[in-house]
A and B are shown apart, each in its own frame.
Chain A
Amino acid sequence: MLKRLLSIIALAGLLLGTAHATLTPDALVRQLSGEVIDAAKTDKAIQAGDVSKIISLVDAKVMPHVNFEAMTRSAVGPQWRHATPEQRQRLQGEFKSLLVRVYAGALTQVSDRTVEITKTLPVQGSSQQIVQSEVRGKGEPIKLDYRFDKAGDAWKIIDVNVGGIWLVTNYRSQFAPEIASGGIDGLIAKLAERNKAAAKN
């Protein structure tokens, strides 16, 4: 009886353990892109580019696997260390709104596509991994890569590459002149202004 109980506990522990451990970066990408494309295929509002619908999709399916603080931190650069917790929160909020809007535009075009994972490779000299995938449909496949790092037990996305362009790297040079001229608050104001203008259209 005790033995059986023990083995059940051991089994349960094993299952719980694997539930965390089995989600390797490529499995995560497979799950994530499958869910997002399914949603884009079935949901008319998402196909039409309904931003609030897409925000809730992103919040539910994508954000749990993204270390957005790390993304914002690397895009902001050294000045991040001098930012107050409140500034950091606002930066993340505005940056996220900007990215989701861009993402919404891209999503309206993927309903007839499939995603194929082409390769997973480690980043030399770090614990990071890169999962390379291709969005296939018409003609030239679109490259879509994810950079992962471990946060505790879980793998989290810390950068995304679309068509050869790393998001964080590209935004770093977008943010730098704003920070140089107006500081962290200047950058927050600029992002907020951009988001407001986009929301009106």
Chain B
Amino acid sequence: MRPPRIVAAVLAAAALLAGCATTAPRAPTNPQADPWEGFNRSVFAFNDAVDEALLAPVATAYRDFVPSLVRTGIANVFGNIDDAWSAIHHFLQGKPASGLDMTMRVAVNSSFGLFGLLDPATELRLERRPEDFGQTLAVWGAGPGPYLVLPLLGPSTVRDTLAKPLDMLPSPSLMTDRESARNGLRVLGIVDTRARLLATTDLLGQAALDRYSFARDAYLARRLDQVHDGAPPLDDPDDAADTPPARTSTPAPAASAARR
């Protein structure tokens, strides 16, 4: 029952936010990929406000006061569980070789790595290769749909939003039955993720002229890259100087499906 409830809550919060969208009207920056830009911008602003008031300060304190050895251990445990989930999705996407690598990674880190606290697998050249349900849906032929900024959860697409509840299932909170411990682990997971993203969001603030569209374009490009395992169809950078951006594509059969 949990996933539908999360989706319903997210949609309700989103609907609420749409009501109070008061941003000044501006020209759409990418009507094709982002038809709900006005709405998305207001959720983005809401997320920013929450982040600035609560999440970023907590994550910064966590980064500055918790010893890095402890933080690394915590990140590794969360990462190890994500890796097990990734392994499943390597197989679901028909990539048994990398699926076996990720399975090996989890096995090594869970045993020699003391239940995932350490990461000896990376030393053994079994690097983390993340996959998730959103990517699996894409490989199965689902297009991303419109870009969607989720309250609290941030940049997404319709496809990735539908996949999200399943992707949020595997978590250390499965390890305990006590509700208070579960909630504690969930909060720790969020703080850990945010702390690791601090450098990235600082970078975003410096690099972007418009943080909203920069974050959007970066998210969409990164997801496309992940779906194609690092070899997405290419834009032609030089075309833009003379003609409207044309798309050249390397032969990748799923490319056009994933774009649309």
Contact = CB atoms under 8 A, between A and B. Distances in A.
**Residue of B217, B218, B244 with highest tally of chain A CB at under 10 A:** B217
Interface residues of A, number: 51
Contacts of B209: 174-175, 178, 190-191, 194
B32 to A, nearest CB: 12
Contacts of B217: 165, 169-170, 173-174
B203 A74 contact: no
A52 B76 CA distance: 36
Nearest to B127: A141
Interface string A76-106: 1110110000000000000000100110011
B12 interface: no
Interface stretch (B46-54, B134-142, B175-183, B233-241): B233-241
B76 to A, nearest CB: 8
B208 A174 contact: yes
Contacts of A73: 238, 241
Contact of A170 (B75, B218, B225): B218
A64 interface: no
A130 B204 CA distance: 25
B1 interface: no
A164 B203 contact: no
A141 B238 CA distance: 29
Interface of B: 26-27, 29-30, 72, 75-76, 79, 119, 122, 127-130, 199, 202-203, 206-210, 213-214, 217-218, 221-226, 230, 232, 234-238, 240-245, 248, 250-251
15 contacts: A74-B238, A74-B241, A77-B241, A77-B245, A78-B243, A80-B241, A101-B206, A102-B206, A136-B122, A139-B75, A161-B225, A164-B221, A174-B213, A177-B210, A198-B206
